[in-house]
Amino acid sequence: ALRQQIDSVGYLLLRGFFDPALVSKARTEILNYMSSQGVLQGGATIDQTTASSKHHGVRFTHSVIQQLPGFLEVVNSNRIMSFFDSFLGGPSMSLDHKWLRATPPGQNTGAHCDVVYMGAGSKELYTVWTALDDISLEMGPLAVCLDSHQHQRLKETYGASDAHQDLLEGWFSRDPYEVMEKLGFRWASTPFQAGDIMIFGMYLMHGSLDNLSARFRLSCDTRYQLADAEVDWRHMGETPDQIPKAKERISIQDARANWGI
């Protein structure tokens, strides 16, 4: 039933999926690291994610994430792995590359499909977007383009490209209104609570709203697939966040002109 729903609607929204205590532990770990980087106002407390006046972005590299066992306990938990064992109908695995994000005030994520970043393996790869904090609409949560996973022309062009080999950037557009105008998509979003997750496949176009608050938005993106399916090995191993890029790549604007979209 869940597979039918995600094939039809494009996503699954599962409220309260992760144990709040585990998420709280992970969040505290993340805030302690952010405090050590000087990006939080007044240091890290359990309810304090306000950006300092001199804040700069904080990047969670693979090596940093390996030092956050509470975070890894969430995204590699029996809860999520057993879910995907059942959902996929066999033993599942998670890509080593985990995307942990502390989105600062004033920023957002442009419209994109995940297949352009990790499409060299199985296309039956699923993203889990997890709220690691209570995230209001003002804080810039995940936003999805409804029914975009069924847009055949998008799949055949942009969806067949590789952000590491073909394109200078993976985002299809930085302008949500342009996506609506050019492709006819409707955007949808919702407030999230810590532990809520959204699951979607490689071809659902998504991004985030602007973070209009004074706080960092804490979330993560992790990927799951059948263990015996083809793997995009670029996202595995000790340095999965250091993928080499081809020299001969073109801008998304030039690519879109070629595609006529």
Residues 6+ apart with CB under 8 A from 222: 75, 80, 94, 95, 98, 99, 127, 128, 130
Query: Average pLDDT of 223-241?
Result: 98
Q: What is the pLDDT of residues 184-200, one digit of tens each?
A: 999 999 999 999 999 99
CB-facing half-sphere around the CA of 178: CA atoms within 13 A: 11
Q: Regarding predicted confidence, which is higher, 29 or 57?
A: 29
pLDDT tens-digit series, residues 46-65:
456 787 766 667 899 999 99
Q: Is the pLDDT of residue 4 over 60?
A: yes
Token code pair at residue 63: 């090596």
Question: Domain containing 192: what range?
Answer: 2-16+86-259
Residue 72 lies in a domain: no
> What does the pLDDT read at residue 47?
56
Count of structural domains within the chain:
1
CB proximity list for 238: less than 8 A, separation 6 or greater: 62
The mean pLDDT of the chain is: 95
Say if residue 129's pLDDT is above 60.
yes
Phi and psi at residue 202, in whole multiples of 5°?
A: -75, -20
DSSP, collapsed to helix, strand or coil, labels residue 249 as coil
- Provide the pLDDT for residue 217: 95
CATH code for position 205? 2.60.120.620
pTM, two decimals, is 0.96
Q: Is residue 56 part of a domain?
A: no
Give percent above pLDDT 70 in the chain: 96
Task: Indicate whether 44 belongs to any domain.
Answer: no
